[in-house]
Structure 1
Amino acid sequence: MSAAHEPVWVGIDLGTQSVRALAVSGTGEVLGTGTGKLTSHRDGPRHEQDPASWWAAVCTACGQALGGLGEATRRRIAGVSVDGTSGTVLLTDADGTPRTPGLMYDDTRAAGYVDRVNEAGAAVWQSLGYRRMQPAWALPKLLWLLREYSADGAVLAHQVDVVNRALVGGPVCTDLSNALKTGADLVNESWPAEVFDALEVPAEVLPGLVRSGTPLGTVCAEAAQRTGLPEAIPVVAGCTDGCAAQLGAGALAVGSWNSVLGTTLILKGVTERLLVDPLGVVYSHKAPDGRWLPGGASGTGAGSIARQFPGRDLDELGARAPDFEPAGVLAYPLASTRGERFPFVAPDAEAFLLGTPRDEYEHYAALLQGVAYVERLCFDYLASLGAPVDGELLLTGGGTRSRYWCQLRADVLGRRVTLPANAEPALGMAVLAATPGRRPAEVAAEMVRIAEVIDPRPELAGRFDEPYLRLVDELARRGWLPAEMAAKAADRASDS
């Protein structure tokens, strides 16, 4: 199909500070971009947004993204999909009018309901692999909302549901991805009635459920006028922002992984079967094709560097990092001062540095290496659960701005890494908009462009094994990493 006739897909990402919209061709060319600002209200554990602002920002972002397209290009727009922040919910009236503020993904005012939620849903949560809900998850928030506001005639809505309803002009189902933290049974693709009965949540409060990638309806006339989207194009059920970023990276084949290195480190992969983690470190979303998207978020990442070297020229520090391969000191670089979530759970874990660096350049190199060691430990942990980990590894996030760090990670992991040209969540939503009737991996192969492929340097093979295993042993000695996991990491190192 010629470029002049290929379809155009629109992806919309509902973030915390803004809404981002992209118009993308079937071969991955970004044809238009737009942004609409959002404002939050924070007060201690509370974090709210006005749900009406989401739709207003979507209209602004779409207007910018589509406003510069020619009429012929606009006629080729064939679908739209929306992602949202995970665990952001509110109550609406039956007609969709917001009854409450939007309680954001990190709002923890409902912490007092967590024990009740985990007692009622213990068997289901265990079967889904995550074992326990956390204070910021959506189901505790739902109980809080039903207590604080009238439950009579109330309907639960996720952030994406508000926008999708405005797009189609009527009620919509919610996607399984956004519904995970609200208690949806992703195996049976339904709300577990026995859990919600025990929690005294009326069935009529809960929306219908569909997989991500399912058409929800078509753009209505009013939405077309407000956004510039063509009337009657399909609105496709989206997912959470984290899954959207994975789609945007193109990590959709079984055994492939997206490693997102920003302030913290997040890994998302693809498996045929649901991973059940006895420690509850890893939990899985369901992919549009019925496969599973396991992942976890570490407390380590580039935030550790910002904390240790505030305001410094990192390019200048990085220019000397190759002089220390490996560094003579060993770093466990947490982005904050305390707490680890993946590849082990240790609320009392603290960042540490073993040894005294000769200068700030060696200290900096040790931090880069420490993050790479934790990344390697994450893969060792995933392998211990039976996850396939030897497929394509796509690196995204702010950490990829350092070409050296990407090379170092390839060396420490002993595997090829791939850098997508653009892996933002809005691109993932454009990919998802194009998936009905097709496998997501096939669509992503056409739409996700690759910037660079980096192979490990053969002359450094095995050079980082010894410091990596020293870090593993130290984490186990401090009681944070289970001893059996440390042993499995050593076994994998000896087999490599």
Structure 2
Amino acid sequence: MMFEGEPEAWLGIDLGTQSVRALLVTADGTVLGAGTAPLTNHRDGVRHEQDPGEWWEAVCSASGSALAGQRSSPVRIGGLAVCGTSGTVLLTDAEGRPLTRGLMYDDGRAVAEAARVGMQTSWALPKALWLLDAYGWKEGRGQVVRVTHQPDVITAKLTGGTVPTDSSHALKTGYDAEREVWPPQLAHLGEVLPEVVRPGTRLGEVCRAAAEATGIPAGTPVVAGMTDGCAAQIASGALRFGAWNSVLGTTLVLKGASAIPVRDDAGVVYNHRAPDGSWLPGGASSVGAGALPPAADPAELDSQAAAYEPSGVLTYPLASSGGERFPFFAPEATAFTLGKPVSEADGWAAVLQGVAFTERLCLDYLHHLGAPIDGPLTFTGGAARSAYWNQLRADILGRPARVPEQIEPALGMAVLAAYGTGTGVRTLPEVADRMVRIRTVLEPRASHTARFTEPYARLVDELETRGWLPTPLATHTRTRLNQDTIDS
């Protein structure tokens, strides 16, 4: 891997819900180019689909924009990687051509299939089974049909042929990441399931046709990517054991690093396999910035919210109607507000605080499971652009937090591309240390942390009373809270 001498950069591509984002990044984290292209979402009740053809068109546009500035001052592109939304699947033919639209991660039609395989509807396997049934696939039918994850459509177009999927995207399709095999209970699907490789594995090179469409030079190495949550974690630099990345956007995702898997009988926390064989445990909550009411000036409401610490009301801010997934599994859970806000700013403050309370409960749950959580905490996601919310979260959590200069999953894919095309001398955490720049370090203010002890305890009590939060976790949370109070 070249970190000095020859100019070199790596391209990261992020297939998001609203858009495709591409970043061209050097070994020291300098962003040389960026591009974005919008995506269209087709929603109808619980149905949520996207057109795979539009994914490719958006990749071509975003990549072209990211590389546009290199015509006058060219650099060698060392490689690229692609991430996608976790749980988004479609069916393709043997050559990788889409046969269906992509069922997005939050498509809610596979309820019966989810119950049958004991998974959440947001996972990919229930949706894949729903698609196979809807498409009329039967074992031995003749035509080869394959379950395909969102980024595989793009890497196949880039390389000019079918490619293996990565174990990160395959995890929610039932792949056994610990044994690195498809489990026996899915054997009846046979060749319908794709070949799987670890993230960072070289898949091929950009073919001439893809080069002409995207502007990416032919011959550029293409390496297997990871899910958008894992990509954001890499972009945060939270890769050393005990470190955690809290990704706050429409919803909240926590991703950490561990030498061993974090066991969770409830299935709330799952474990991605890191490229080096270690583990990236995490979970996805349904609370988040998506619960905020529409606002003409969010920054102004942030400044006004400082007068309501704590808010006069207590809010559990679910961003969707699909129940809760982390720190507990409760499909029947709904958003609620106890009390009536005295102003728009008070209601705004209640949502900001409610998300942070749930974030703290997530960390309490991870501690309850025995996960290492004593490393640095990093904030990423769209909500990390709010300086006020960042400081509020650090105060409520009672621990320091870092905010990187770039908070894009596409950066994580550029880092993974640099790792996957390197000599192996440097580990992924070492490559990330070079490419991820920390912009801000937040310190919790003890007096502010103390203000939120009582409302946090009330939220725990309310969630337990409603039957959503298991009593063992509620008890563990109170024990930790009491200990923190004594220590302070």
Aligned to 1:17: 18
Look up the equivalent residue of 1:285 and give its one-letter code.
H
Aligned to 1:214: 201
Once residues 251 and 452 of structure 2 are traced to their aligned partners in structure 1, the CA distance between those partners, rounded to angstroms, is 22
- Confirm or deny: 8 A CA contact 1:8 1:73 kept in the other structure: no
Aligned to 1:166: 157
Which of 314, 328, 346 is equivalent to 2:298? 314
* Closer/same/farther in 2, CA of residues 411 and 145 from structure 1, 3 Å limit: closer
TM-aligned CA deviation for residue 319 of structure 1: 2.6
Please give the secondary structure, in 2, of the residue aligned with 1:485. helix
Aligned to 2:186: 196
Greater CA deviation, 260-269 or 413-422? 260-269
Aligned to 1:65: 66
Once residues 431 and 474 of structure 1 are traced to their aligned partners in structure 2, the CA distance between those partners, rounded to angstroms, is 42
Greater CA deviation, 413-422 or 476-485? 476-485
Identical-pair percentage: 58
Aligned to 1:104: 104
Look up the equivalent residue of 1:37 and give its one-letter code.
P
Which of 119, 135, 145 is equivalent to 1:154? 145
Which of 169, 186, 205 is equivalent to 2:177? 186
Structure 2 residues without counterparts, runs of 5 or longer: none
Once residues 326 and 82 of structure 2 are traced to their aligned partners in structure 1, the CA distance between those partners, rounded to angstroms, is 28
- Confirm or deny: 8 A CA contact 1:49 1:104 kept in the other structure: yes
Which of 450, 475, 487 is equivalent to 1:487? 475
- Confirm or deny: 8 A CA contact 2:206 2:216 kept in the other structure: yes
Which of 442, 446, 450 is equivalent to 1:462? 450
Give me the TM-score of the superposition, normalised by structure 2.
0.90
- Confirm or deny: 8 A CA contact 2:164 2:196 kept in the other structure: yes
* Closer/same/farther in 2, CA of residues 292 and 312 from structure 1, 3 Å limit: same
- Confirm or deny: 8 A CA contact 2:255 2:283 kept in the other structure: yes
Aligned to 1:90: 90
Look up the equivalent residue of 1:432 and give its one-letter code.
L
Aligned to 1:259: 246
Greater CA deviation, 65-74 or 392-401? 65-74
Matched, 1:274 2:261: yes
Aligned to 2:416: 432
Please give the secondary structure, in 2, of the residue aligned with 1:430. helix
TM-aligned CA deviation for residue 387 of structure 1: 0.7
Matched, 1:135 2:121: yes
Once residues 338 and 146 of structure 1 are traced to their aligned partners in structure 2, the CA distance between those partners, rounded to angstroms, is 24
Please give the secondary structure, in 2, of the residue aligned with 1:188. coil
Structure 1 residues without counterparts, runs of 5 or longer: 119-131
Matched, 1:410 2:394: yes
* Closer/same/farther in 2, CA of residues 336 and 206 from structure 1, 3 Å limit: closer
- Confirm or deny: 8 A CA contact 1:285 1:292 kept in the other structure: yes
Greater CA deviation, 98-107 or 372-381? 98-107
* Closer/same/farther in 2, CA of residues 89 and 479 from structure 1, 3 Å limit: closer
- Confirm or deny: 8 A CA contact 1:419 1:452 kept in the other structure: yes
> Which digits, 9 at most, give the CA deviation of each residue in 1:29-53, with x for residues without a partner?
1111122333343444433333233
- Confirm or deny: 8 A CA contact 1:80 1:234 kept in the other structure: yes
- Confirm or deny: 8 A CA contact 1:301 1:334 kept in the other structure: yes
Matched, 1:36 2:37: yes
Give me the TM-score of the superposition, normalised by structure 1.
0.88
Look up the equivalent residue of 1:146 and give its one-letter code.
L
* Closer/same/farther in 2, CA of residues 357 and 372 from structure 1, 3 Å limit: same
Aligned residue pair count: 474
Which of 302, 305, 319 is equivalent to 1:335? 319
Please give the secondary structure, in 2, of the residue aligned with 1:376. helix
Once residues 164 and 182 of structure 2 are traced to their aligned partners in structure 1, the CA distance between those partners, rounded to angstroms, is 12
Aligned to 2:354: 370
> Which digits, 9 at most, give the CA deviation of each residue in 1:376-435, with x for residues without a partner?
111111100011112111112232233222112111111111111112111111011011
Which of 478, 489, 494 is equivalent to 2:466? 478
RMSD: 2.4
